[in-house]
Amino acid sequence: MKSATIISYPLKHGGLLQLNHLTKTYLQGTIQRSVLDDASIDFYQGEVTAILGKSGSGKTTLLNLISGIDQAETGEVIFDSINLTALSDHQRTLIRRARIGFVFQFFNLIPTLTVWENTILPLELNHQLLDGGKKKAENLLDQVGLLHRKGAYPEQLSGGEQQRISIARALVHEPDLVLADEPTGNLDEQTGEEVLSLLNRLTRGNGRTMILVTHSLAAAKIADRVLYLHQGKLTEEIKVMPEVL
């Protein structure tokens, strides 16, 4: 990555991440649908933020914009003083790979890889496997209670176990930002609570910043701050709550 092509901006109030006037629309047939409408918000180092919204409200799209997978029509995503919207696809990929961890609703483990191989994949992609990486991976697998299953394949694990591996994979390369997309949405209530507690503990224990998108009020309770995504508007106002879920 050539640093000369990276445009940096000062972050306000010590924030790790800023969304500045983001707008994103989709064309559904002949109808233009607004997913984000002039969204601006700051996210802070070490903070856990929950974003509540009903299915189809654009929560996943918002995470894709934050991580640079997708691009907005207008606005900026400023991550640790780097304007992601000014970078090439390749540059965004390198930043995403090195500095962001993902936890998905459907786990997204690679079925042909073992638990160990799935866990160390971010280390391999970032060329960190030899510099203490194996020890970090073993430590994380131990913390999620699955070091003894390192040789198993995803299909041999329960849903809760697969999500625990997903959490270990998301954190193994020590990302600055963790993006969790409905991490309990494919689990039963008790397992979901256990997984969420684990994700919260491991993320906070290492001072990571986490953005959790969910339609669950119970899941949002772990957050320091709750935002609401409703009809393209991202707000801290609770007045839209009855219509959100």
DSSP classification of residue 6: -
Q: Is the pTM of this model over 0.85?
A: yes
> What is the predicted pLDDT for the residue at 27?
79
Contact 81, 23 (CB under 8 A): no
CA distance 243 to 239: 9
User: What CATH number corresponds to the domain at position 219?
Assistant: 3.40.50.300
Sheet containing 100-103, strands listed edge to edge, beginning at the edge strand earlier in sequence: 100-103, 177-181, 209-214, 48-52, 225-230, 233-235
Tell me whether residue 141 is in a domain. Answer: yes
In a domain, 75, yes or no: no
Residue 125 lies in a domain: yes
How far is residue 188's CA from residue 197's CA, in Å, rounded to a whole number? 14
Q: What is the pLDDT of residues 174-230, one digit of tens each?
A: 999 999 999 999 999 999 999 999 999 999 988 899 999 998 888 999 999 999 998
Residue 50 CA to residue 210 CA, distance in Å, equals: 8
Give me the pLDDT at residue 238, please: 55
- Residue 54 is predicted with a pLDDT of 84
For residue 113, the enclosing domain spans 46-68+88-238
pLDDT given at position 10 = 39
Q: Which residue has the tokens 């961890």?
A: 101
Please tell me whether residue 128 adopts helix, strand or coil conformation: coil
Asked if residue 178 belongs to a domain, the reply is yes
What are phi and psi for residue 76, nearest 5 degrees? -135, 150
Flag whether 25 is in a domain.
Answer: no
List beta partners, residue 82: 8, 79
Are the C-beta atoms of residues 192 and 184 closer than 8 Å to each other? yes
Spans of the chain, pLDDT less than 70:
1-14, 237-245
Number of structural domains, the chain? 1
* Residue 8: per-residue pLDDT: 34
Residue 2 lies in a domain: no
Whether 34 is covered by a domain: the verdict is no
Evaluate whether residue 58 is within a structural domain: yes
CA distances from 80 to 128, 221, 230 (A): 21, 26, 27
